[in-house]
Every structure is written in C-alpha cells, then in structure tokens.
Amino acid sequence: SRKVLSYRERGDLCQHPVARQLFSIMEKKKSNLAVSADLCTAEQVLQLADQVGPHICMLKTHADIMTDFSTEFVQSLTELADRHQFIIFEDRKFADIGSTVQHQYRDGLYHIADWAHLTNAHALPGSGVLEGLKQVGLDKKRACLLIAEMSSKGNLATGDYTKATVKMAEEHKDFVVGFISQSQLTEDPTFIHMTPGVQLSGSGDGLGQQYVSPWDAVVTRRADVIIVGRGVYKDPDPASAAQRYQTAAFEAYQHRLAN
Ligand code: S5P
C-alpha cells in the first residue's frame, strides 16, 4: 500500500486556505480532535471552548440549539479560536435548493458565513446546494464539507449515494475540502475525512447514535479528524477528557504514519 502522508505534507498539497490552516494546526498542536459543543447557552459553549481549546484542532457548533446566540457570542468565540488556534465549524447540514441555502448561510439570525470557517451540506439536493453556498462563501474564503456517510443507525447515506457525493465534492474543489464520513472515501490527500460517532466508553445513545473508539475511527476507518461531543462535554472534567481523546486519536494517527 502507498505511503501515508503526514498532515503537514497534505496541508502543503491543499489549495484552500481553510484546509491548509486546519492541517497546519493539526500538525502544530498534535491534535486531530474536533470537539462538538452541543450546548444550549453561549456561556456554556464559550466555557467549553476555553477549557478544551488547547487540545483541539476544531470546535464544532450547532448555533440553532442556542437560546442566546448573539454577535457578542460570535466575537468571543472568534477570540477564543484565535487565542487557542482552532477552526470554527458550524454543523448546519444544509439540505435545500441553492437559493434557499444561500439565505440560510448568509442571512437569518445566525449569519453563519460571517463567522464559521467551515460548514457542511448534504448532497441530497444535487450540486445546486453547493452553487448557492459558494456564491456566499467563496468571497469570504469559507469552506464546506459534504456529508457522505452518517453515524446513525439506518441512515440512507450509503452505496451509490455516497459515491455520488464524492463525485460532487471532486467537481467543487474550490469550496469542498472534505467529508463527514465513517470511512476513507478517496485517496485524494487534499480531502479531509472527519468522523463523528466517536466515544471511549459508550456504544450508542438510545436515539440511533452509534459509537466507535478513536482507534477504530482513525486506524480502521482512516478518519483524519475525530468529532467528539458528549464524550467530552458531559465529562465532569472536559479539559482532561479532551486531552484523553486528543492523545488516543493522535497516537492512532502516528500508528498509521509508521505502518
Ligand atoms: O453522521 C453524523 C454527522 C454528524 S455531523 N453523526 C453525528 O453525530 N454528527 C454530529 O456529531 C451530531 O450532530 C453531533 O453534534 C455530534 C456527535 O455528538 P456525540 O455527543 O454523539 O459525540
């Protein structure tokens, strides 16, 4: 099998500034951990971001679950991202026609394109979803991931759907920098694979979520970045939990490099 490239080598191959920055942060901080801050107040999200900041390459948000989203929140989060050096990823999962997602990305209460370096979209609507998002995001140098596979039980993102999603990404490389997936989908080293549904202890959550370990995600499924929510923020000590996941995922990456 062919040599596994380091994050640094892959960053050097990337054209998109967000992909380059992410790979560079991963290399520098020795972190392929993204923490999902699925909390419902600005104070909780900001506190978590500050606690886990040193251990992560990326913070994932769900702005629309917050009760008090504001421009002050965005400003504070951006300051934390600059201080701790992490990418902000709004997990919006756009899934409508181009014209609608354009508004959802640029307008409304959240103005996502103004603050999220990275967002994501389902391939379901066809390439119009990307054409719409691009018209807003390209000028701002934003990037997008396509959801090619999901972690949840019974999901329909499989087989030909997944293959068509990869093809769509390849046709929009100026904006799409990778995938949300459960496995490696392409050998192209400039695409980043991010895998949610990762936990050190549990196997599921009773609502369809299915977990694998950081080792399985990175070594067996070849994820570049693991995404961990409850495994970190439900822990009584989120900073230590983040450190545990950081170490587990980075050791798994180093194992891949060495083998
Ligand atoms: O297939 C997916 C895609 C995503 S982005 N499965 C997921 O669980 N996610 C997101 O990852 C989900 O919306 C949540 O924010 C996070 C997983 O959280 P956890 O608490 O189960 O680790």
Ligand 1 centroid to residue 2 C-alpha, Å:
31
Residue nearest to atom 7 of ligand 1 (CA): 196
- Give the chain's mean pLDDT: 98
Q: State pLDDT tens for residues 162-202.
A: 999 999 999 999 999 999 999 999 999 999 999 999 999 99
Check residue 93 and give left, alpha or beta (phi > 0: left; psi -120 to 50: alpha): left
pTM confidence score: 0.98
What confidence tier does 2 reach under pLDDT thresholds 50, 70, 90? low
Q: State pLDDT tens for residues 112-157.
A: 999 999 999 999 999 999 999 999 999 999 999 999 999 999 999 9
Indicate the top mutation candidate among 35, 36, 233 to test ligand 1's pocket, ranked by most ligand atoms within 8 A of CB. Answer: 36
Q: State pLDDT tens for residues 50-79.
A: 999 999 999 999 999 999 999 999 999 999
Ligand 1 centroid to residue 4 C-alpha, Å:
27
Binding residues for substrate: 38, 60, 151, 209, 229-230
For residue 3, the 8-state DSSP code is P
C-alpha span between 198 and 226 (Å, rounded): 7
Cβ proximity of 241 and 232 under 8 Å: yes
